[in-house]
Amino acid sequence: MASLLGRVSGFIFPFLKSSKACLSNRMPAAIGYTTYAIAGVLITWSTTNISLTNALIALLKISPIWFLLVESVYVFNDIFDKEIDTRNDLDRPIAKGEASSDKIMYLFILLSAIVLTLSTIINFATMLVSSTF
């Protein structure tokens, strides 16, 4: 039992450290793109017959999904652009060795699963749009 606990903690803590480094590195961009999505919903509300209540409900549903989707795309990019980011001396956690590509691949899978699950709960069309990213 102690060896299993040691193996689990040997994965979890590095995973959390790598995840924090990758997610916080791209947080401003993810917030920015989520703001664009919010603006799109508000523009749609102001130019159509959608009620403010329905627009706000859509924002509450879509904003967290969009934020996680953008973060997952950046995580995926960081994994596969490690060599390019290293050569160009970019401030990316994987390129600088602050995060492990192996651990971050699990983060990408986790984020993608959350996004697709939440999107499917909203409706099938939302899931299809999310899956294109």
At 98-131, the pLDDT tens digits run 888 888 999 999 999 999 999 999 888 878 877 7
Checking if the pLDDT of 75 tops 90, the result is: yes
12-45 pLDDT per residue, tens: 888 888 888 888 888 999 999 999 989 988 898 8
**SS3 label, residue 86:** helix
Comparison of pLDDT for 133 and 22, the residue scoring more: 22
What pLDDT was estimated at residue 8? Answer: 66
Count of domains in the chain? 1
Angle between helices 52-80 and 2-25 (to 10 degrees): 110
Q: What's the CATH code of the domain at 57?
A: 1.10.357
Q: How far is CA 5 from CA 8, 9, 10, 85, in A?
A: 5, 6, 8, 35
Alpha helices in the chain (DSSP H): 2-25, 27-47, 52-80, 82-87, 93-96, 101-122, 124-131
Q: Find all residues with CB under 8 Å of 96, minimum gap 6, and list them.
A: none
Q: Sorting pLDDT into bands at 50, 70 and 90, what band is 71?
A: very high
Q: What's the predicted TM-score (pTM) here?
A: 0.82
Question: What is the extent of the structural domain holding 59?
Answer: 2-131
What pLDDT was estimated at residue 13? Answer: 84
